Structure 1
Amino acid sequence: MARVVRPSFEIGPVRVRPGRHQSLSLPITRLVTGAEVDLPVRVVHGRDDGPTVWVDAAIHGDEAVGVEVVRQVLADLDPKTFRGTLIAVPIVNVLGFMAGSRYLPDRRDLNRSFPGSARGSLAGRIAHLFMREVVDKCEVGIDLHTGSDRRTNLPQIRTDLDDPRTRELAAAFAAPVTLHARLRDGSLRHAARERGAKVLLYEAGEAWRMDPWAVDAGVRGVKRVLAALDMIDPDQVGDDAPPTPSVECRRSGWVRARGTGMLHLEADLGRHVVRGERLGGLFDGFGKRVRLVHADRDGIVVGRTEAPLVTSGDAVVHLAEPVEPAEPVEPATATGA
């Protein structure tokens, strides 16, 4: 019996033949110099049928970890053996990324601008383009992020754990922590869900840094999801042993400074703490301790500030509360984080 050939995949002005990968650029705007600003896209269109999935990074222009995650994932995919189609967009906020800025030149947050409009602001037009050419063609999406404002995050998935299929995909990713997160108006995750896609939001590392442990956890997680969708074989993930199941959390909150001073934190990412436990201290310029920082709940340290100076009310440690007692999560600097 003759093998049925998959149709080519259409995106923008390009048709990608089965068993091929192809890079393309989707026009966004034009600079004052006349140079074009384009959205960079790479499509891996497998020979065999399977889901259509997207992975994106740098919706916030200061988030470099996800760009490296996308690069490493693409480097290991062979379109001749790949099943289904992957749309990779490593840098969504191109103008912000070039400037090292979280925002677009008009200070708009792209992740509060979805689904956008073809005649709206620059952010709205980029969001509209991304929805039309990427999201509307996909069943599943993986949105890669890092901490913001001098904060660093433990590798974690934030998603809708009340949706059974999304929960399965989050379990397949196997980040150290999976946090049930409400939808934010204007976010990619919200707009994509309205179009019927299942979306995982990955958070790890610090803005404008290339944290190797955050990259490694992201690469393995994306590959595990592709394997769970039968788009690649499990042995392509690179796991030496089955990953540790993710710790499920339903609630989280930031411990805030109750004074002003130089911050010395003792709370590493991944550490399990109990209510009242000391997380660090605040000191004045002469080394005199001004105030201690204590945990306000039992939980896992999933985020922390890296700012040396904090003022009263600043968020310093992010604690997520496990649904059930769990084995300690390895520190984020460890190899398996």
Structure 2
Amino acid sequence: MPRESFGIGNVRIRVGTSRSLELPITRLVTGADVSLPVRVFHGREDGPTVWLDAAIHGDEVVGVEVIRQVLAGLDPKELRGTLIAVPIVNVLGFMTGDRYLPDRRDLNRSFPGSARGSLASRIAHLFMQEVVAKCEVGIDLHTGSDRRSNLPQIRADLDDPRTRSLAEAFAAPVMLHARIRDGSLRHAARERGATVLLYEAGENLRFDGYAIDAGVAGVRRVLASLGMVDGPAEPDHEPSVECRSSGWVRARRTGILDLDARLGQRVTDGERLGALVDSFGRTLRLVHANRDGIVIGRTEAPLVNSGDAIVHIAT
């Protein structure tokens, strides 16, 4: 029996085709409509329904390029199952390069949302109803926040067998067992029965090539592991390093940061990672690792205040 067409919003997508559409969000004071851009690939053969999303934080642009490249390599006539891609969730923040919405709310703390709530809550509700509710697996793409860069990594519940299997298939350099935050997309989607991987890589407002390449390869490997696309016969990647906890090294003085620690570097407790200096180059304080592990994040800010997060180490 042939597959049925796929319904989303007020449209239906025929099997073996792809279609771009817009889901209405709100109207600006100018009268212009704001919509959520969506593209659906509806394969000819049965398979899982999966979503990809990026830019829940409007300044996190790496995932937008990851999704563009993944979709460029897909043929709906050969796809098994259905893929829903939402490259820009926080449309208003994305247009201004802002992490948050105009009301200063964090969209990734507003799920599952409400049809009658704040703007953030309404966007979250729309995403849950039109995307998450139709899917069994999702990949949520992020970058480091303001002036921080992240090593490509998957954050997920590694104690859940299905989630762990998909995290291993993604094969980012690191997979980190991460607690679920209330109000996040990952938390709300899991409550609906979906399996969610959160990908972190690169810096905000930048197209970091290493983050894009690892993201594209990882998404393709997950789709292959789900049987949606054909994958390589033999693994072409190193397995992820599993980490169970992480913590930040923080500045002990205010100063100019001379940081030697690199993303992906293995460090030992007490190892020198850099120094805080004054404007004449005089050393104010050395920066040392506070645990054994691997560097999964670092600040890119040259000026730091006492207490600022400098280096993120996963154990």
Q: Same fold (TM over 0.5)?
A: yes
1:255 is matched with 249
Is 1:225 aligned with 2:219?
A: no
Matches within 5 A, 1:1-20: 4-20=1-17
**TM score, norm. by length of structure 2:** 0.99
Q: Partner amino acid for 1:211? A: D
Secondary structure at the counterpart of residue 193 of structure 1: helix
1:279 to 250, 262, 273: 273
Q: What is the CA–CA distance in structure 1 between the aligned matches of 2:4 and 2:258, rounded to whole Å?
A: 58
Secondary structure at the counterpart of residue 270 of structure 1: coil
Secondary structure at the counterpart of residue 18 of structure 2: strand
Per the TM alignment, residue 242 of structure 1 is displaced from its structure 2 partner at its CA by 2.2
Identity of aligned residues (%): 77
Per the TM alignment, residue 233 of structure 1 is displaced from its structure 2 partner at its CA by 0.1
Taking structure 1 as reference, are residues 167 and 241 closer, same or farther at Cα in structure 2, changes over 3 Å only? closer
1:108 to 105, 130, 137: 105
Secondary structure at the counterpart of residue 234 of structure 1: coil
Per the TM alignment, residue 149 of structure 1 is displaced from its structure 2 partner at its CA by 1.7
- How much is the aligned-residue C-alpha RMSD, in angstroms? 0.9
Q: What is the CA–CA distance in structure 2 between the aligned matches of 1:227 and 1:32, rounded to whole Å?
A: 45
1:165-195 superposed Cα distances (whole Å, 9 cap, x missing partner) = 0000000000000000001000000000000
Secondary structure at the counterpart of residue 94 of structure 2: helix
Q: Partner amino acid for 2:120? A: A
1:269-309 superposed Cα distances (whole Å, 9 cap, x missing partner) = 00000000000000001110100000000010000000000
1:23-58 superposed Cα distances (whole Å, 9 cap, x missing partner) = 000000001111100000000000000000000000
Q: Partner amino acid for 1:167? A: R
Is 1:314 aligned with 2:297?
A: no
Per the TM alignment, residue 132 of structure 1 is displaced from its structure 2 partner at its CA by 0.0
2:197 to 197, 200, 222: 200
Q: Partner amino acid for 2:4? A: P
**Poorly superposed stretches of 4+, deviation over 4 Å:** none
Q: Partner amino acid for 1:192? A: A
Q: What is the CA–CA distance in structure 2 between the aligned matches of 1:191 and 1:92, rounded to whole Å?
A: 15
Q: What is the CA–CA distance in structure 2 between the aligned matches of 1:116 and 1:141, rounded to whole Å?
A: 18
Q: What is the CA–CA distance in structure 2 between the aligned matches of 1:108 and 1:80, rounded to whole Å?
A: 40
Is 1:30 aligned with 2:27?
A: yes
**TM score, norm. by length of structure 1:** 0.93
Secondary structure at the counterpart of residue 245 of structure 2: strand
Is 1:118 aligned with 2:115?
A: yes
1:177 is matched with 174
Is 1:148 aligned with 2:145?
A: yes
Secondary structure at the counterpart of residue 244 of structure 2: strand
Q: What is the CA–CA distance in structure 2 between the aligned matches of 1:274 and 1:123, rounded to whole Å?
A: 42
